[in-house]
Chain A
Amino acid sequence: MAFIDVVNLTKIYDIPKKGKITALGGVNIKIDRGEFISLVGPSGAGKSTLIRLFIREDVPTTGRISIAGRDITKLKTDDLPYYRRKVGVIFQDYKLLPQKTVYENIAFALEVCDVPAKEIREKVIKILALVGLSARMENYPHELSGGEQQRVAIARSLVHSPQIVIADEPTGNLDPVNSKEIIDLLLRINRAGAVVILATHNAEIVNNLRRRVISMRGGKVVSDSKIGRYKI
């Protein structure tokens, strides 16, 4: 049985006075543990919708997403926080809290889960070392470069040792050098055992990775290659 099983996933938005929009029209994907997947496609292909459904920001119209045998589309509202802690998410705009330091931003993800202060300190220091930002602990996000901010976001997504890490255009705002650093970090995370799903427009990154590539267009999967190249 696949670790992640996406079965017949559809999402249709009913917009008043404008009719229905099919964002996802029946997506089927199987993902095993430890895979690194690039999700590519033009704007409007359905990548962001798929990610939203993955992190339960929304529910599908039909179909399901099973993770380790559990249908996450049927999770109750009370269970959602616990699910979200197991999926690390990284965004193009980092989504850091501007009034908290680097340390506090990462610690926050643990505070919300009632982790004791001493344990928080140990974990945050360890993770900062992992992403190479130990020296920047007391800085605020606006004092960091784009690449550094993204690394903080990655660090935060890792505090719960998630089994799945989803990165939605993580290098969108970064230069090539920083982009490479971020991708390397994601690869390290993948080597440590997490499934990494990378949604990106960056053809060069995808082609250099030589990993599985899922292409989407018009809300459907149009190709799924084990060692793929960027083609939309």
Chain B
Amino acid sequence: MKMHSFRTISKLGFTNFWRNRWLSLAAILIMSLTLIIISVFVIFNLVIDTTTKAIKEKIDLAVYFNDEATELQIAELHDQIISRGDVKSVEYVTKEEAFRRWQNLKTSDKIKNLISAQDNPLPRSLEIKTSDPERLDSIANFVALDQFKPIVRSISYQKNKEIIQKLINITKFSTRIGWAFSIIFIAIAVLVILNTIRLTIFTRKDEIEIMRLVGASDSFIRVPFLVEGALYGIFAAILTVIIMGIGLNLVAPLISRYLGEVSLNLQTFYWHYLWLIIIIELFLGVFISTICSLISIRRHLKF
């Protein structure tokens, strides 16, 4: 196809888009709706992922030592633990550091004054963070080995094991559910777009028939519809970005209230990455609608 004719044919797409503007508007609105659904689910999954990650971060294991344990013994255990592949970090909390944390507790002075720097019963401890909370069990079992029993007073994990396991299961479940729903809704959204475009082409089937009759080539018939489809995608993407921006401004405070410090600061994220989001929505909108146009026009071009 010559460039000159491609320009002419594409111009026809713009003309048709404008001439059938009510139909185009309907298609754009429906496409925006579906793009919003897709975007909401992506954000939803992002929120779940971040929340579950934050929860996992908070799950850790503390090993408390007897006062009789020597620094060398603690250091040895520290080295053995840190050399494990499933351990992310090990922090040694000295008596002084434990006291400092005690002083920073949000409680009454009367309670705080129960412990003084001179008379400090708080044990030393190792705070262990893993890369995967499911490994905590294995680490706890290691620390509970007979060889360490003389120096280990207690292991925090054993007490909270049940709760921690429940939390792990909930986060796993939420992630899976989130993705399952997303896939279902995204599939529905794409089907809606496909059918919307099929309808717009169907309403113009007389026009297509006449074009074939007078000897228009397949590309002459096809390209304007692809251009129209792409235009639907572009306008739908722009509308989606605007509506999402407004929606997020309204909803973000609510999310922050519930998720507290684990909130993504969605608003900041959105406006910071606005250009990227616009490009992604544009790409998504144009890509889906162009493919759907190609599929839909095919049945009218059998011969």
Segment among A30-38, A78-86, A129-137 that sits at the interface with chain B: A78-86
Size range of the chain B interface in the assembly: 10 to 19
Complex alpha-carbon distance, A229 and B196, angstroms: 52
9 tightest A-B CB contacts, nearest first: A85-B215, A112-B216, A84-B215, A109-B214, A81-B217, A81-B215, A114-B5, A112-B220, A95-B210
Residues of B within 8 A of A58 (CB): 303
Complex alpha-carbon distance, A86 and B214, angstroms: 9
Question: Smallest CB–CB gap between B135 and chain A, Å?
Answer: 61
B211 on the A face (CB < 8 A): yes
B218 on the A face (CB < 8 A): yes
Identify 18 residue pairs between A and B in the complex whose beta-carbon atoms are under 8 Å apart, listed by A's number: A58-B303, A77-B218, A81-B212, A81-B216, A81-B220, A82-B215, A84-B212, A84-B213, A84-B214, A84-B215, A85-B215, A89-B213, A97-B207, A108-B211, A112-B217, A113-B216, A114-B5, A114-B8
> In residues 203-238 of chain B, which contact A (Cβ within 8 Å)?
206-207, 209-218, 220
Given contacts A57-B303, A58-B303, contact A160 B210 (CB under 8 A): no
A99 on the B face (CB < 8 A): yes
Question: Smallest CB–CB gap between A102 and chain B, Å?
Answer: 14
Residue in B206, B215, B218, B303 whose beta carbon sits within 8 Å of that of A109 in the complex: B215
A97 contacts B210, C-beta separation under 8 Å: yes
Residues of A within 8 A of B8 (CB): 111, 114
Residues of B within 8 A of A156 (CB): 214
Residues of B within 8 A of A96 (CB): 210
B58 on the A face (CB < 8 A): no
Residue in B19, B206, B209, B211 whose beta carbon sits within 8 Å of that of A112 in the complex: B211
Interface flags for A42-70 (1: CB within 8 Å of B; 0: not) read 00000000000001111100000000000
Question: Smallest CB–CB gap between B220 and chain A, Å?
Answer: 5
Complex alpha-carbon distance, A84 and B217, angstroms: 10
Residues of B within 8 A of A82 (CB): 215
A110 closest partner in B (C-beta): B214
B214 closest partner in A (C-beta): A109
Question: Smallest CB–CB gap between B301 and chain A, Å?
Answer: 9
B19 closest partner in A (C-beta): A99
Complex alpha-carbon distance, A198 and B58, angstroms: 86
Given A78-B218, A80-B303, A95-B206; 20 other pairs, CB 8 A cutoff: A59-B303, A81-B215, A81-B217, A81-B218, A82-B215, A84-B214, A85-B214, A95-B210, A95-B213, A97-B207, A99-B19, A109-B215, A111-B8, A112-B211, A112-B214, A112-B216, A112-B217, A113-B215, A114-B5, A156-B214
B218 contacts A95, C-beta separation under 8 Å: no
Residues of B within 8 A of A109 (CB): 214-215
B20 closest partner in A (C-beta): A99
Residues of A within 8 A of B (CB): 55-59, 77-78, 80-86, 89, 95-97, 99, 108-109, 111-114, 156, 160
A112 closest partner in B (C-beta): B216
> In residues 62-90 of chain B, which contact A (Cβ within 8 Å)?
none
Interface flags for B1-35 (1: CB within 8 Å of A; 0: not) read 01001001000000000010000000000000000
A112 contacts B215, C-beta separation under 8 Å: yes
Question: Smallest CB–CB gap between A96 and chain B, Å?
Answer: 8
Complex alpha-carbon distance, A89 and B213, angstroms: 8
Complex alpha-carbon distance, A95 and B210, angstroms: 7
Complex alpha-carbon distance, A160 and B215, angstroms: 10
B220 closest partner in A (C-beta): A112
Complex alpha-carbon distance, A78 and B218, angstroms: 8
Residues of B within 8 A of A113 (CB): 215-216
Residues of A within 8 A of B218 (CB): 77-78, 81
Question: Smallest CB–CB gap between A51 and chain B, Å?
Answer: 12
Given contacts A95-B209, A99-B19, contact A56 B303 (CB under 8 A): yes
Which of B213, B216, B218: most chain A CB closer than 10 A? Answer: B213
Residues of A within 8 A of B216 (CB): 81, 112-113
Question: Smallest CB–CB gap between B108 and chain A, Å?
Answer: 81
Complex alpha-carbon distance, A77 and B80, angstroms: 74
Residues of B within 8 A of A111 (CB): 8
Complex alpha-carbon distance, A108 and B209, angstroms: 13
Complex alpha-carbon distance, A82 and B218, angstroms: 11
Residues of B within 8 A of A78 (CB): 218
Question: Smallest CB–CB gap between B128 and chain A, Å?
Answer: 69
Complex alpha-carbon distance, A97 and B211, angstroms: 10
